Amino acid sequence: MPASLKDLRTRIKSTKNTQQITKAMKLVSAAKLGRAQHQVFESRQYSRNLDALVSRVVSYLHGNLNHPLLQEGTSKMACLVVISSDRGLCGGYNSSVVKQTTRLKEELDQQGFSTKIVCLGKKAFQVFARMRRLSQNKFGEAKVLTEADYMTNPSELLSGDGLVQVSLSFEKPTFEMARSLATAFEQLYSEGKIGKLCVVFNQFQSAMTQIPTSKNIFPVNPEHVVSTAEPTFEPELLDLLDSLLPRFVASKIFQSLLEAVASEHGARMTAMDNATRNGKEMERRLQITYQRARQAAITRELIEIISGAEAV
């Protein structure tokens, strides 16, 4: 028995303390998940209706996609928006978006794109910064942008050696946040600075399952539907698209953000639940070891006393 009784007691105490923390974190995440889930479901209705509307409206162009946001970009620069979390302790949440991003990046490399990465959330940014450090053996610039930065100059999003972090509040994602990002990217796309934009995030399915997903934003490529009788457009079709498509893009980004936030809480809840369970198991084993050690010590002491008494 290598560990002394005192050591074992301290370890048992500390596993108990850890369990309390993980249990509390689970409860907090469960409460936050409830709210986030509600938001996701509410906003899915808007985005689903908008998706359908955009698909229908675009179908009346009859393949003649003469709106700049619908056309394939000329630039061979792709930009990936990666939504991760600011905080850890959420299981595989962050690593699964990173993996998905790496896979997508390789695909884009093969298609001849060079990629820039914009991270929403600290965690993915840290991982990519470390990857860069290991592969190029140098410290890149750690660039953190705020909303004001990319609002005044959208090309800031492509700076920082192709890796930047946008700091935003995951506690309360607002549509305005998504819209300002969307506007900045829209400008970059229409100026031809990027030819492709994707978001990578965890799609929320349930507290147990989050699916790493990537969605194309630019060029805007709505689902194909068969066009029915043409409705009246006010204003006319192309002007209508001018106000429809930016909303479509903002709604996509907003929806991804909400899905990601709900997924984060779900993932953390599950991870902390597992941690609590593992903690319990560990405590049980330590308890057994402790009792065995204690019994052994008592027996040893008894033997010593008895043999001492016999000797007299």
Partner 1 sequence: MTESLRLEVFSPVHRILSEAVSSVYFTGDSGVIGVFPGHAPLVTTLKTGVLVYAQQNTSGFLLIAGGVAEVTGDKVILLVDVAETAEQIDTNRAQNALERANQRLSSSASDESIDKVRALFAQQKAQARLEAAQLYVNRKKSEHH
Q: Which amino acid would we find at residue 205?
A: Q
Under the binding rule (CB under 8 A), the answer on residue 65 touching partner 1 is: no
The answer to the question of residue 50 lying near partner 1 (CB under 8 A) is: yes
Q: Which residues contact 104 (CB under 8 A, 6 or more apart)?
A: 80, 198, 200, 214
Residue with Cβ nearer partner 1 (12 or 184): 184
Q: Does 43 bind partner 1 (CB under 8 A)?
A: yes
Tell whether residue 101 is a contact of partner 1 (CB under 8 A).
no
End-to-end Cα spacing for the chain: 31
Told to check if 57 binds partner 1 by CB under 8 A, we report: yes
Tell me if residue 61 falls in helix, strand or coil.
Answer: coil
Number of residues forming the site for partner 1 (CB under 8 A) = 25
Contact set for partner 1, span 228-267 (CB under 8 A):
229-235, 240, 243-244, 247, 250-251, 254
- Bin 144: left if φ > 0, else alpha if -120 < ψ < 50, else beta: beta
Q: Quick one: DSSP state of residue 89?
A: -
- Give the dihedral of Cα atoms 13, 15, 18, 20; nearest 10 deg: -70
Rounded to the nearest whole angstrom, what is the least distance from the CB of residue 255 to partner 1 in the complex? Answer: 9
Q: Is 192 in the site for partner 1 (CB under 8 A)?
A: no
For residues 105 and 97, the answer to whether their CB atoms sit within 8 Å is no
Determine if 45 is a binding residue for partner 1 (CB under 8 A). Answer: yes
Kindly indicate which of the ranges 124-132, 144-152, 225-233, 261-269 contains the residues binding partner 1, using the contact rule CB under 8 A: 225-233
Out of 79, 90, 119, 198, pick the active-site residue: 90
**35 binds partner 1 per the rule CB under 8 A:** no
Active site residue 79: no
Cβ atoms of 117 and 80 within 8 Å: the answer is: yes
Contacts of 145 (CB under 8 A, 6+ apart): 156, 157, 164, 165, 166, 167
Q: Between residues 34 and 235, which has the closer beta carbon with respect to partner 1?
A: 235
Residues that are catalytic: 90
User: Which positions touch partner 1 (CB under 8 A)?
Assistant: 39, 42-43, 45-47, 49-50, 53, 57, 175, 229-235, 240, 243-244, 247, 250-251, 254
